[in-house]
Amino acid sequence: MSDEEKKLSAYMTLQSVNSRNFSLFAGFTFTAITILLTRLPDTSTWQSQAMLFFLTVLFSQLIYHLAVNEAVLTCCVKFAPKLPEKYTKNSLRERMLIWLLLDAAVLLLFLFYNLLYLALATGILFVLTTARTLRTLRMILQMLKPFQRIDLYESGD
């Protein structure tokens, strides 16, 4: 393995560990939100809603970092050996949409439990996170634009 491959491999390993940690904590946070919604005696108190909103902000940030981390790993894969066709069918935008829809699930939970002010605050947070995610995605795609004309997999015959 060359020095450049070692550097890329170490970077991809770091990003993979970050993704694993973010997804683990996002899962625990979503579970905590769900358990608190179902087990709290009165979810309409300000203390309950403050705790739920704090967990929602944490969950939203973890999902944002997961989405960006996946985009960064996609950049690394562009320069790695070519993947089989079945792994390249989903575009980066589609995968980002999946992460954003997962973030919207918390909003729907709050609407389901009739926590309208919390749902409104979460909706505003969702819009801000979506704008931030799309801006980051646009920057990443702009950064990759010069490399789209390069075919790394041409045969040298």
- Percent of the chain having pLDDT more than 70? 75
Q: Is 115 helix (H, G, I), strand (E, B) or coil?
A: coil
- 129's CB contacts (< 8 A; 6+ apart) are 60, 61, 63, 64, 100, 103
Indicate the pTM of the whole model.
Answer: 0.79
Taking the C-alpha atoms of residue 57 and residue 125, their distance in angstroms, rounded to an integer, is 8
Phi first, then psi: give them for residue 47, nearest 5 degrees: -65, -45
Q: Residue ranges per domain, the chain? A: 3-149
Taking the C-alpha atoms of residue 127 and residue 100, their distance in angstroms, rounded to an integer, is 10
Q: Worst-scoring range by mean pLDDT, 3-7, 43-47, 82-86, 113-117?
A: 82-86
DSSP code, position 155? -
- Position 147 pLDDT exceeds 80: no
